[in-house]
């Protein structure tokens, strides 16, 4: 089976860099993490990262150095419900041994949810056909005491229905220059947003977005502009106008990272991965 062509890279979806090829078995793993204590997914020289913790734990269990490749790199403070990675190892460890052994060595904010062998042509990044994010806003007069690392607070009442209607202009394949950070390293700004929804759940406003891939800060920039619509400070047509104008400087602010959760990538059924990451 030929390896699918890679999607255009963006900081939210860039891979961990693969290391030297290792003969043996390829495994896919689902990883949940609280990003509060980390400088993002990617291994860094200047701060703690999820990737470094995962590779250290798995390398100990395999008894040789391991590099993992992720489906979508997350920024500092961003959480993941089910990040997917792949690795190659000739250690002879079973999926259960890799999962349980890693969990015994990982910090409390990271857990391996599942581990299974996959064909050698599976690639955590390139085989994914979609990624999905959720952003949650606590919308009440009082700030959060509980769960504050997983919510952004907005004291002004938000019209979630207006936000949802406004967000539909962002669905489809577009040039998203108005919603990418100046630090984005993606070679081009085109992405395909499959769906975006905004709903109210009691005192929370929840935004969910699925796309083939994301630019750096793209979801958080969506949210920053949609909040202005929800407050009534901008009309419902505004996000569509921003999209057409392609000017980041006139769009809304970047929403804080702590409301953002990477729900995970989505793969074709041919890979027989768990339902939560299968299209």
Confirm if 175 and 189 have CB atoms less than 8 A apart: yes
**What string of DSSP letters covers the chain?**
-PPPPPPPP-TTTPPPPP-S---SEEEEEEEEE-GGGSS-SS--SSS--HHHHHHHHHHHHHTS----EESS---TT-EEEEEEEEEEE-S---HHHHHHHHHHHS-TTEEEEEEEEE-TT--TTTT--EEEEEEEEE-SSS--SSSGGG-EE--S---HHHHHHHHGGG-EEEE-GGGS-TT---S--EEEEEEEEEEEETTEEEEEEEES---TTHHHHHHHHHHHHHTTSS-TTHHHHHHHHT-GGGSPPPPPGGGEEEEEEEB-GGG---GGGB-
Query: Residue 260: how many CB atoms within 10 A of its CB?
Result: 26
Question: Catalytic pick from 75, 121, 161, 247?
Answer: 75
Whether 75 is a known active-site residue: answer: yes
Query: Residue 146: how many CB atoms within 10 A of its CB?
Result: 7
Active site residues: 75
């Amino acid at each position: 089976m030929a390896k699918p062509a890679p999607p255009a890279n963006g900081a939210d979806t860039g891979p961990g860099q693969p290391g030297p090829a290792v003969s043996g078995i390829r495994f896919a793993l689902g990883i949940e993490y609280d990003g509060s204590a980390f400088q993002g997914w990617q291994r860094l020289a200047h701060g703690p990262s999820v990737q470094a913790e995962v590779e250290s734990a798995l390398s100990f269990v395999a008894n040789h150095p391991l590099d993992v490749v992720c489906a979508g790199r997350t920024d500092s403070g961003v959480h993941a419900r089910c990040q997917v990675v792949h690795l190659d190892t000739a250690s002879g460890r079973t999926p259960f041994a890799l999962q349980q052994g890693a969990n015994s060595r990982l910090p409390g904010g990271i857990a391996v949810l599942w581990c299974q062998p996959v064909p050698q042509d599976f690639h955590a990044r390139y085989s994914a056909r979609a990624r999905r994010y959720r952003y949650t806003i606590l919308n009440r007069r009082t700030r959060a005491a509980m769960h504050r690392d997983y919510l952004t607070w907005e004291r002004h009442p938000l019209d979630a229905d207006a936000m949802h209607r406004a967000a539909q202009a962002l669905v489809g394949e577009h040039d998203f220059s108005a919603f990418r950070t100046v630090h984005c390293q993606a070679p081009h700004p085109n992405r395909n947003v499959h769906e975006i929804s905004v709903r109210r759940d009691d005192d929370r406003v929840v935004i969910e977005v699925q796309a083939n891939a994301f630019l750096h800060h793209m979801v958080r920039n969506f949210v920053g502009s949609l909040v202005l619509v929800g407050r009534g400070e901008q009309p419902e047509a505004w996000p569509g106008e921003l999209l057409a104008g392609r000017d980041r400087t006139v769009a809304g602010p970047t929403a804080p990272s702590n409301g953002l959760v990477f729900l995970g990538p989505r793969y074709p059924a041919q890979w027989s991965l768990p339902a939560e990451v299968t299209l």
